[in-house]
Structure 1
Amino acid sequence: MKHIISCIAVLALLFTSCTGPQGPPGFDGFDGINGEDGGLIVASAFEIEVNFNADNNFEFVESYGFEVFPSDVTLVYIEWETDEGEPIWRLLTQTEYFNDGVLVYNFDFTQQNVRFFLDGTVDFNTLDNVWTQNQAFRVVVIPADDVDGLDTSNFDVVMDASTVKSFDIR
């Protein structure tokens, strides 16, 4: 019995004292702006009210007013309705169907600005003002790394995941 315990102890010491070859080194972390070490990544945002009409070709372009990096992602939400005075935000694009066609609220963005525009088959000139005037949008610019796996259709989820605490109202 003593020999079995001694053999087990020797084998345990032998296995725990062995080391294998060192693995490859890990990747370096992302550098911050101008090669400085990275820090807290902050999302930027603003809220804007837009009027769509024939004079502006049913579109509106707004400059960000802050630096946007090539890897950043712009998300735009429209105030679709309210519930007991609380706004309900929907991620663009949003489509509304009419008897005479389709209205689509859409956007595109560059590193310099975001463009809101109406699209679809309906005659925009015949739309009631409720569809074209005083349309409230929230624009959130977030680093692309923060979007992975995020339910961007839910405005509250995006707000919780980012560091945006308030909006610049324009």
Structure 2
Amino acid sequence: MKKIITLLAIAGLLTLQSCTTSGSFEIAPVPTTEVFEVTTSFNSNNNFSRFVTLNPPIYSSDVVLTYRLSGSNSQGDVWQLLPETYYFNDGTLDFGYRFDYTNRDVNIYMIGNDLQYVSTNFRLNQVIRIVIVPGNYAKSINKKSYSDVITTLNIKDSQIQKIDL
């Protein structure tokens, strides 16, 4: 039995080596990585949320990562991965940022009890980056680090698309 399987394997290899193709064929497109930047203020007029339409829609296998610019230091900008939560000294929820997405949009919003009283440093002119990650890369990158994500996906600052409303 082993000899027959070996003989069939050799015959298959020889047959495949002699095959040639003529003409052209199409390769399925590789999902592209995109980064969008939006500056927004969270207030009662917009229900403490920002809705961003993705045009064109993303692939259903893509993963959306959302980061908020929380400050800067000697190494550069500091980006916080959402969700992000802040607590009072007694451990109860003060406020936080969350997001949800579909293949057509991303909704970034604040949570908390008295959002109108959250410091304006956390509500006004917030810079948010939305990173669309192809599904095949999503498991192999350090999502907590914006820098690692951008480096792994080889994204340059010039490729970041600013969204103005």
The SS at the match of 1:49 is strand
The SS at the match of 2:121 is helix
Indicate the residue corresponding to 1:109 in structure 2. 101
Match of 2:65 among 36, 60, 75: 75
- Residue 40 of structure 1: CA displacement? 4.6
Match of 1:58 among 48, 53, 69: 48
- Residue 21 of structure 1: CA displacement? 5.8
Indicate the residue corresponding to 1:123 in structure 2. 114
Indicate the residue corresponding to 1:19 in structure 2. 6
Q: Determine whether 1:158 maps to 2:146.
A: no
CA distance in 1, matches of 2:160, 2:56: 13
CA distance in 2, matches of 1:114, 1:151: 21
Indicate the residue corresponding to 2:160 in structure 1. 167
The SS at the match of 2:6 is coil
Structure 2 residue runs without a partner (length 5+): 10-24
CA RMSD between the two structures:
2.4
Cα 1:37–1:49 change in 2 (3 A) is same
Structure number with larger C-alpha Rg: 1
Structure 1 residue runs without a partner (length 5+): 1-17, 23-34
Indicate the residue corresponding to 1:143 in structure 2. 134
- Residue 64 of structure 1: CA displacement? 1.8
Given that residues 66 and 129 in structure 2 are in contact (C-alpha distance below 8 angstroms), is that contact kept between their aligned partners in structure 1? Answer: yes
- TM-score, length of structure 2 as denominator length: 0.75
Q: How many residues are treated as equivalent by the alignment?
A: 141
CA distance in 1, matches of 2:68, 2:45: 22
CA distance in 2, matches of 1:155, 1:94: 14
- Residue 151 of structure 1: CA displacement? 1.0
- TM-score, length of structure 1 as denominator length: 0.73
CA distance in 2, matches of 1:20, 1:108: 56
What amino acid is aligned across from residue 6 of structure 2 in structure 1?
Answer: T
Given that residues 66 and 82 in structure 2 are in contact (C-alpha distance below 8 angstroms), is that contact kept between their aligned partners in structure 1? Answer: yes
